[in-house]
């Protein structure tokens, strides 16, 4: 009996030590990142004034120097948050293209600055998130970079925090089940429109239809994205563990999902980009044919989640930059095909709101939507490049993801969940020490 107690105490001591080490590594990783916040420069595309480009690069350079940071040498995870004030602001992906170029290489003629700023080449960016809000009162550019390995380590902690949270909160499953029922209710309403209109009346039918369509879109596109635990497994995390499925099998399952656009491998030979673009258009058409009864028209704001795994045979010289994939192949076809918008305020019928609830409408102010020219787009896009699998095919998998609950992008959720895990471990460790 005494030996059993000693063994339990030894295991508890080892676990507490491992937890303290994991928290210490987490705190250390947080110091490896670079965060630059600029408030007084309007985000712009390549048309940005030279003076503003120089000021932006100077701000990045000064931030790097303050923390004695050199440009990242290896794979990078990069997050860009933007706020524009211009009534003719460009789309987010054109702003991002300009900023990515400025972050990689300084402009000629800017004295006292390294040749490279945040990284040495766009090809280093292996995970990218770009968010933008138009029509704001003040301009803002926020750039946060970290080594990809640091983000993946935090992803492991986030997945553990999610696992614990899901065990403690069963109500969320029930809530999602309720929302998924809205899809079947919407289907039944459409099938029996004539009978339902006679029974409910036109006004009530129309209102009920709108409500069900909103719920059905939220349910459908709320489960189209790849969540943090599965994304971690696709990267082979946690390292040294035995996953439910190996990374190539997860990729196979994701590639079969009817909730995503499955585009095959990227073009790697001269002249093959045209065929890939046609593939994108064909997949969009097939997706719309499958789900048009739910998503046409879209009444919720959506983000774009892109997962890329290059073929192991892809030469490094022709590996596509993540931003180029989104900008050149995806957004120009997805935005007009689905009618996606840059802000959830575009999905609100303010004329109807003023008729039904003028007090609530007044709270939004006289001009509740961003400038008209900024309507078309997505609320954000994020792209992840998985490591190739020997013998496995390359693929591009894209999801329209419901973006209406303020949870932020995958980067934000990883940070929130990993911080929650670290705080919980620190609290538990402190209690053990007091005991």
Residues 157-194: tens digit of each pLDDT = 999 888 887 766 544 444 445 567 888 899 999 999 99
151 has a pLDDT exceeding 70: yes
Helix (H), strand (E) at residue 212: helix 202-222
Task: Write out the E strands in 278-358.
Answer: 302-309
Q: Is the pLDDT of residue 300 over 80?
A: yes
More confident residue, 19 or 119: 119
Question: pLDDT-derived band of residue 6, with 50, 70 and 90 as boundaries?
Answer: low
Instruction: In whole angstroms, give the CA distance from residue 226 to residue 307.
Output: 9
Residue 116 has what pLDDT? 82
pLDDT at 432: 45
Mean pLDDT computed over 232-237? 90
Residue 175, pLDDT score: 47
Which of 400, 347, 339, 337 has its CA nearest to residue 370? 347
Whole-angstrom distance, CA of residue 88 vs CA of residue 426: 48
In angstroms, rounded to a whole number, what is the distance separating the alpha carbons of residues 346 and 334?
17
User: Is 90 exceeded by the pLDDT of residue 201?
Assistant: yes
Which three-class secondary structure string do you get for 126-146?
EEEEEEEECCCCCCEEEEEEE
Among 89-103, 252-266, 295-309, 417-431, the least confident range? 417-431
Q: Does 113 score more than 90 pLDDT?
A: no
Mean pLDDT of 21-44: 89
* pLDDT band of 80, cuts 50, 70, 90: very high
- Residue 108: pLDDT over 90: no
Q: Is 81 helix (H, G, I), strand (E, B) or coil?
A: strand
Rounded to whole angstroms, the maximal C-alpha distance in the chain is: 78
Question: Mean pLDDT in the chain?
Answer: 87
pLDDT band for position 2 (50/70/90)?
A: low
**Burial grade of 297 (CB within 10 A; 0-12, 13-18, 19 or more):** exposed
- pLDDT of 83 above 80: yes
Q: Does residue 79 register a pLDDT over 70?
A: yes
pLDDT at residue 8, as a whole number: 47
* pTM for this predicted structure: 0.90
Answer yes or no: is pLDDT of 253 > 70: yes
> Residue 435: what pLDDT?
36
Helix (H) or strand (E) holding 316: none
Mean pLDDT of the 27-37 span:
88
Give 344's DSSP letter: G
Q: What is the pLDDT of residue 246?
A: 77
């Amino acid at each position: 009996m005494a030996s059993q107690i000693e063994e339990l105490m030894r295991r508890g001591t080892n676990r507490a030590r491992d937890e303290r080490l994991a928290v210490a590594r987490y705190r250390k990783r947080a110091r490896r990142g670079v965060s630059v916040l600029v408030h007084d420069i309007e985000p712009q595309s390549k048309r940005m004034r030279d003076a503003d480009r120089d000021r932006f690069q100077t701000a990045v350079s000064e931030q790097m120097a303050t923390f004695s940071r050199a440009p990242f040498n290896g794979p990078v995870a990069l997050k860009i948050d933007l706020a524009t004030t211009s009534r003719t602001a460009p789309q987010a992906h054109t702003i991002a293209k300009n900023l990515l170029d400025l972050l990689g290489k300084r402009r000629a003629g800017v004295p006292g600055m390294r040749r490279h700023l945040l990284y040495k080449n766009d090809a280093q960016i292996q995970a990218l998130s770009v968010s933008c809000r138009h029509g704001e009162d003040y301009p803002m550019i926020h750039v946060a970079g970290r080594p990809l390995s640091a983000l993946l380590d935090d992803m492991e902690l986030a997945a553990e925090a999610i696992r614990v949270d899901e065990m403690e909160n069963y109500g969320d499953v029930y809530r999602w089940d309720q929302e998924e029922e809205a899809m079947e209710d919407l289907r039944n309403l459409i099938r029996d429109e004539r009978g339902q209109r006679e029974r409910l009346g036109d006004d009530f039918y129309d209102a009920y239809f709108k409500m069900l369509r909103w719920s059905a879109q939220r349910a459908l596109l709320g489960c189209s994205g790849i969540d943090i635990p599965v994304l971690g497994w696709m990267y082979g995390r946690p390292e040294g563990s035995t996953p439910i499925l190996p990374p190539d099998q997860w990729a196979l399952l994701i590639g079969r999902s009817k909730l995503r656009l499955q585009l095959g491998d990227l073009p790697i030979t001269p002249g093959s980009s045209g065929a890939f673009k046609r593939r994108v258009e064909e997949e969009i058409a097939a997706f719309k044919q499958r789900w048009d009864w739910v998503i046409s028209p879209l009444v919720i704001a959506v983000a774009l989640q892109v997962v890329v795994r290059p073929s192991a045979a892809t030469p490094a010289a022709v590996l596509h930059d993540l931003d180029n994939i989104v900008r050149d192949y995806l957004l120009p076809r997805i935005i007009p095909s689905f009618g996606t918008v840059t802000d959830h305020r575009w999905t609100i019928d303010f004329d109807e709101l003023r008729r039904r609830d003028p007090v609530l409408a007044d709270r939004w102010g006289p001009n509740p939507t961003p400038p008209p020219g900024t309507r078309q787009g997505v609320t954000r896009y994020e792209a992840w490049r998985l490591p190739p699998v020997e013998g496995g095919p390359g693929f591009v998998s894209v999801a329209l993801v419901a973006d209406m609950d303020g949870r932020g992008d995958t980067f934000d959720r990883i940070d929130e969940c990993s911080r929650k895990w670290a705080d919980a471990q620190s609290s538990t460790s402190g209690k053990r020490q007091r005991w």
